[in-house]
Amino acid sequence: MDWSDISNAVAKAAPLVGTLLGGPAGAAVGGLVASALGTEADPAAITTALQDPAALERIRKLEQDNQTDLTRMHLEAETTRLAEVNQTIRAEAASHDPVVRR
């Protein structure tokens, strides 16, 4: 089990946290979620904690309290992803291989 496995369940209550759990910042955000729930920073432990209806409310509060930091993390991850895509496009455009340029 990994962080992306619980991202959908968390996204129902806190969409930004759920999105970040499913991405490259999953472990860091998972630690924040674990701290808010009082569990270990492990996807299995958080899955067990999510059985409590109050858990999603605590995650929603975590998202509201840390909105700025979570948004920054999301934007940084997206910027990194787009930079990698752009780098690939530039490498393909600069290639002299006819198969790559096609």
Q: Is 73 helix (H, G, I), strand (E, B) or coil?
A: helix
Q: Give the model confidence (pLDDT) of 69-80 as tens digits.
A: 999 989 998 999
The predicted model scores a pTM of 0.74
Per the prediction, the chain carries an average pLDDT of 88
Q: What is the pLDDT of residue 13?
A: 85
